[in-house]
Amino acid sequence: EDKVVQSPLSLVVHEGDTVTLNCSYEVTNFRSLLWYKQEKKAPTFLFMLTSSGIEKKSGRLSSILDKKELFSILNITATQTGDSAVYLCAVPPQGGSEKLVFGKGTKLTVNP
């Protein structure tokens, strides 16, 4: 069965800190891994990773994939209170469908 495991489940930091969120996966015929940020209700798309070792970057957020070790990390530098959210990792399962299997998420709280 396809599986996504995120750690830690929750994290509390102070503004300005750097955080690393982890996502490991087990899926047959891996195609891609996606990161989303969920504030309130709707997840918003951050990154999609398909190639190992290539960093995706957007402002203070970056992510990288290790296909050999089956994990990805999401880094946030110089955190701000607006980064407080649940960060979700997801993979499309085997079978070629575009549906997604999600991890439980990491709840990040950034205190001023």
Residues binding another protein (CB under 8 A)? 32, 34, 36, 40-45, 48, 88, 90, 92, 97-105
- Smallest gap from Cβ 39 to another protein, in A, equals 11
For every residue of 47-109, which 3-state class applies, written as one string?
EEECCCCCCEEECCEEEEEECCCCEEEEEECCCCHHHCEEEEEEECCCCCCCCCEECCCEEEE
State the nearest-atom distance from the C-beta of 4 to another protein, in Å: 9
Toward another protein, which CB reaches closer, 10 or 77? 10
Residue 51 CB, shortest distance to another protein, in Å, is 14
